[in-house]
Amino acid sequence: MRLASWLLTICAFGALVQSAVAQESDTVKPVPRDAGWMKRHDSFNERVKQGNVDLIFIGDSITQAWEGPGKQVWADTYAKRNAVNLGIGGDRTQHVLWRLENGNIEGIKPKLAVIMIGTNNSGNNTSEQIAEGITAIVHKLREKLPETKILLLGIFPRGVDDEDAKRKVNAGANAIVAKLADGKMVEYLDIGPKFLDDKHVLSKDVMPDLLHLTPAAYKIWADSIEEHVSRMMGETK
């Protein structure tokens, strides 16, 4: 009996430890990064202080590259909408959370926030943990920008095909966060299939390193979300 009781105690303790670890995923713990990262973060804070912000894009290097391969599409499609690019290469959900808590959206009331984040977590975190991080970002935006609508994009596909390990992790996260759509302030949209062929293969003509987009792929991105952007910003019904 004593042995059985001891084993039950050990098992219960183990379950508590596992539960605590699950609750402490790094994806939801806001953290900053290095000095170079902080410099770009600070530049965002200075930009939003100037006001006149109606549209924000939040994400990692894929979003930041609206300033690179996507520059012309941005100029043609979003510059006239008072859009601000809040993307930083290498960011994970925890870094975006820190930025949102430390000035990136302070004092502004954009009509729409477009989010695409999570792929940099796919090498270290589970689908569930990434979904927790994305959910925390959505909740933070709803808290700090209650009048801002949110277009949450599914994490873009990466790797050659559906057998890619990180693509699988991201797809799992997408399936979870799709449920964040509330039919009013938050919409979910997965445009991933737009980048793939009919066999779900990702071409290097679309993403040369099977992760980052070409100029043509930025046009696909913009075209694929335009109906949602115009409607959610109140430009069309």
pLDDT tens for each residue of 180-208: 999 999 999 999 999 999 999 999 999 99
**Strand, helix or coil for residue 178:** helix
Task: Tell me which residue has tokens 């919409």.
Answer: 187
C-alpha distances in angstroms, 22 versus 32, 37, 129, 190?
Answer: 22, 28, 8, 27
Residue 133 near residue 184 (C-beta atoms within 8 A): no
Residue range 19-41: mean pLDDT, rounded = 85
Percent of the chain with pLDDT over 90: 89
> Which of the residues are catalytic?
61, 209, 212
Task: Tell me which residue has tokens 């729409």.
Answer: 112
DSSP 8-state class, residue 213:
P
Q: What is the pLDDT of residue 6?
A: 47
Residue range 147-152: mean pLDDT, rounded = 98
163 pLDDT more than 60: yes
Average pLDDT, the chain: 93
C-alpha distances in angstroms, 111 versus 27, 54, 56, 228, 232?
Answer: 27, 5, 9, 12, 8
Residue 112 near residue 149 (C-beta atoms within 8 A): yes
Could you tell me which CATH number the domain at 24-232 has? 3.40.50.1110
Report, in angstroms and rounded to the nearest whole number, the Rg of the chain calculated over CA atoms.
19
Split at pLDDT 50, 70, 90, the class of 237 is confident
Q: Is this prediction's pTM over 0.75?
A: yes
Helix then strand count (H, E) for the chain reads: 8, 5
**Side-by-side strand order, sheet with 149-153:** 83-87, 55-59, 112-116, 149-153, 186-189
Split at pLDDT 50, 70, 90, the class of 112 is very high
Split at pLDDT 50, 70, 90, the class of 102 is very high
Q: Which of 144, 135, 66 is nearest to 104 (CA)?
A: 144
Lowest-pLDDT range, 7-16, 24-33, 161-170, 201-210?
7-16
Task: Provide the token pair at 56.
Answer: 């924000």
